Amino acid sequence: MKKKSISLILVIVTMIACCIGLTGCAQDTAFSGSCLGNENQFLLDFTILNTTQHNQMYLEKGEQINTTIEITKGNVDILVKNENGAVAYQGNDVSTSSFLIGIKETGTYTFEVTGQKAEGSVHFVKN
């Protein structure tokens, strides 16, 4: 009787340990960092980016967006488009760089930053 109880307890403890271990492996943190977005800027700094972060800005034709990208790990894709689907900028697996995005059409633009196991920062600031 005692051997059956001890065996049952060992089986239960082993099952609990396996469940805890598998749960830990299944949980991927989607985002760790800071995100500030308003009508003049979208500042994204992250130690973990496994999702899409976005912000909208109303921009007029001729405006420019200072863009600064610093990627230290992983893959980052960026898409900047207006409500009509006109793409102002698109970059896949971007690397560290700085540049201006020129706005050719007035409208509300969505800035999307998508990461996969990424670390770094992406900043968009209206001139």
Dihedral sign computed on CA atoms, order 127, 62, 84, 101: negative
Output the average pLDDT for the chain.
88
- For the entire predicted model, the pTM comes to 0.79
Average of pLDDT values for 34-59?
97
Query: Band of the pLDDT at 10, cuts 50, 70, 90?
Result: low
Average of pLDDT values for 78-96?
97
pLDDT 10s digits, 95-120: 999 999 999 999 999 999 999 999 99
Could you give the percent of the chain with pLDDT greater than 90?
78
Q: Are strands 107-126 and 52-59 parallel, antiparallel or unpaired?
A: antiparallel
